[in-house]
Chain A
Amino acid sequence: EDQVTQSPEALRLQEGESSSLNCSYTVSGLRGLFWYRQDPGKGPEFLFTLYSAGEEKEKERLKATLTKKESFLHITAPKPEDSATYLCAVQGKNYGGSQGNLIFGKGTKLSVKP
């Protein structure tokens, strides 16, 4: 069964304290892995797509990496405005017979204190 597990569930950092969020996945033929940021009461905001092992993407203080079993979202010198829930989702070859369906993890809630 296709599955996505994110850890930790919650992470509290001091401003400037770098860390990483983990997304472990089991999927039949990965077509893409997606990272989103979600603020309270808002919809998820798309951050990155990763397609194959070894790929990396960067945006400001965020860097996403991908291996055959997991993805990491590295946060360098975070600021309070980086506080949000970060969601990971995967798209497999056979899920639901549709090209678009995603399987989401439960997310990591990040809090960055000044």
Chain B
Amino acid sequence: DGGITQSPKYLFRKEGQNVTLSCEQNLNHDAMYWYRQDPGQGLRLIYYSQIVNDFQKGDIAEGYSVSREKKESFPLTVTSAQKNPTAFYLCASSYVAVNQPQHFGDGTRLSIL
């Protein structure tokens, strides 16, 4: 079945450590996105990519980095510069055409040790 796979489901970060969240899709979508979800807040866009080897900052990109070396994969690194990384991270993908819905993975919950 086609879908978006995020791993791991739970992740713990130590002080000063970088961690990488994985996102893979087999929906043949060109666009991929990373969101952060905090309690009581709407989803906030971290980074997005519409084509391989290109990506753009979203609203809250500071302290995060991404790469897009393959169409199917869009990993997110939470760096030590991100001072408040505890959140639920969601990856999504879509066709690039206007009005196309985004489809989401089941998220990674990141906590601080």
**Neighbouring A residues of B16 by C-beta, 8 Å:** none
**Count of A interface residues, CB-CB < 8 Å:** 28
List the one stretch of B42-50, B66-74, B77-85 in contact with chain A.
B42-50
Residue pair A98, B101 in contact (C-beta under 8 Å) = no
Tell me, yes or no, whether B107 is within 8 Å of chain A by CB: yes
Knowing A96-B58, A104-B42, the reply to whether A46 touches B98 (Cβ < 8 A) is: no
**Neighbouring B residues of A31 by C-beta, 8 Å:** 98-99
**Neighbouring A residues of B92 by C-beta, 8 Å:** 43
Contact check: which of B40, B42, B43, B48 meets A100 at CB < 8 Å? B48
Residue pair A99, B107 in contact (C-beta under 8 Å) = no
Residue pair A100, B104 in contact (C-beta under 8 Å) = no
Knowing A99-B98, A100-B31, the reply to whether A4 touches B45 (Cβ < 8 A) is: no
CB distance from A31 to the nearest CB of B (A): 5
Residue pair A107, B103 in contact (C-beta under 8 Å) = no
CA A106 – CA B97 in complex, angstroms? Answer: 25
**Neighbouring A residues of B100 by C-beta, 8 Å:** 100
Tell me, yes or no, whether B25 is within 8 Å of chain A by CB: no
Residue pair B99, A98 in contact (C-beta under 8 Å) = no
Residue interface bits B36-70, CB-to-A below 8 A is 1, else 0: 00001111010010100000101000000000000
Residue pair B107, A42 in contact (C-beta under 8 Å) = yes
B101: nearest residue on chain A (CB-CB)? A46
Residue pair A91, B42 in contact (C-beta under 8 Å) = no
Residue pair B48, A43 in contact (C-beta under 8 Å) = no
Tell me, yes or no, whether B96 is within 8 Å of chain A by CB: yes
CA A31 – CA B4 in complex, angstroms? Answer: 25
B42: nearest residue on chain A (CB-CB)? A104
Residue pair B99, A51 in contact (C-beta under 8 Å) = yes
**Neighbouring B residues of A110 by C-beta, 8 Å:** none
